Amino acid sequence: MLHLLPDEIDRYQRDGWVVPQWRLPEARVATMRAALDELLRRNPGVRPEKLVSAHVDRGAGDNGEGVRGVADFLDLARDPEIVELVSGVIGDDVILWGCHVFCKPAGEGFETPWHQDGHYWPIRPLATCTVWVALEPSTRANGCLRVIPGSHAGRTLHPHLHEDRQDLTLNQRLAAGAFSEDAAVDVELAPGQMSLHDVHMIHGAGANTSPLRRTGVALRYMPASSHFDRSLRPVAGQSGVPVDFSQRSLWLLKGHDACGLNDFATGHTSSLRIA
Ligand SMILES: O=C(O)CCC(=O)C(=O)O
């Protein structure tokens, strides 16, 4: 099994993000591109940047969050190689709690405002590693992720402001003063490459005005020492994406529920494979 290299773990801890050497094999990328086509086919009425819980496939019905999912995304999220990578930075008890496909169409892909993920999520203590898997080339020109290295280090959440615009992937933007955009690094990835980022790290992404579509699958993993607290509503319905954390399915992929409070039954039906 491939783990993160010691140097990659160091960089993740120091910078809040890393692109590991390991990448998806070409055949797997092809499978996931076909899954993406199917996901888009199943969701003609959903903006492709807002395909939340794309891994929850309930057949003809939606996933409870307005999207008809595709099971291949759950298979990807449960890929033992990816779970081992994540385990390298969050420890031996790993819970999968989310999968968001951010597909930015050519020419009109939405901007992702600068933000910290932790602002949006009901996890206490706040902890998550996101694995952002590129299914298509992701470059500065088509709106790749942009990160502020080291911005996670204080482990504090800075104030965000609500932006009532229709052309954003998310509607909360970091208020001015928390960081300098001059420090931003473009995370350019080839298909099959991935980045890992920490829940406190400041990041965003430009609009896609290029002729090339850009798609990333954001897989969200938390250590089971934290609680996914369904009673919290951090952004009170103002995230810009119609999420429902009260019904969100959790999968324990490795180890045990160290905090003892996580609920692995809600959101699972007989059609969903529980790990
Ligand atoms: O892909 C994007 O544009 C945004 C992704 C993001 O913010 C995330 O995965 O946390």
> Mean pLDDT in each 10-residue stretch from start to end of the chain (275 residues)?
88 98 97 98 97 95 94 97 97 98 97 93 97 98 98 94 87 89 97 98 97 98 98 77 89 97 91 65
pLDDT, residue 20, reads 97
Instruction: Pull the structure tokens for residue 166.
Output: 């229709």
Q: Are 229 and 266 in contact (CB under 8 A)?
A: no
Instruction: Pull the structure tokens for residue 203.
Output: 């990041």
* Of 176, 220, 180, nearest in space to 54 by CA: 220
Pairing type for strands 17-18 and 214-223 reads: unpaired
251 in contact with ligand 1, CB cutoff 6 A: no
Nearest CA to ligand 1 atom 7: 204
Strand partners, 221: 96, 129
- Which atom of ligand 1 lies nearest, measured to the CA of 132? 9
pLDDT, residue 160, reads 87
The three-state secondary structure class of 223 is strand
**Contacts of residue 32, Cβ cutoff 8 Å, sequence gap at least 6:** 24, 72, 73, 76, 133, 135, 217
Q: Element (H or E) spanning 83, and its range? A: helix 80-90
The b/e string for 150-181 (b: 16+ C-beta within 10 A; e otherwise) is ebbeeeebbebeeeeeeebbbbbbbeeebbee
Q: Are 263 and 227 in contact (CB under 8 A)?
A: no
Residue 2: CB atoms within 10 Å: 13
pLDDT, residue 266, reads 94
Q: Are 107 and 210 in contact (CB under 8 A)?
A: yes
Q: Are 253 and 96 in contact (CB under 8 A)?
A: yes
Residue 32: CB atoms within 10 Å: 24
Q: Where are the beta strands (DSSP E) in 86-156?
A: 94-104, 112-115, 123-124, 129-134, 145-147
Read off the DSSP letter of residue 217.
E
* Of 17, 50, 21, nearest in space to 184 by CA: 17
169 in contact with ligand 1, CB cutoff 6 A: yes
Strand partners, 218: 100, 132
Tokens 């992937």 sit at which residue? 169
Pocket test for ligand 1, best of 169, 187, 209, 210 (most atoms within 8 A of CB): 169
pLDDT, residue 2, reads 63
- Which atom of ligand 1 lies nearest, measured to the CA of 218? 9
* Domains of the chain, first to last: 6-254 (2.60.120.620)
* Of 121, 74, 122, nearest in space to 268 by CA: 74
Query: How many A from CA of 112 to the centre of ligand 1?
Result: 7
Query: How many A from CA of 270 to the centre of ligand 1?
Result: 31
29 in contact with ligand 1, CB cutoff 6 A: no
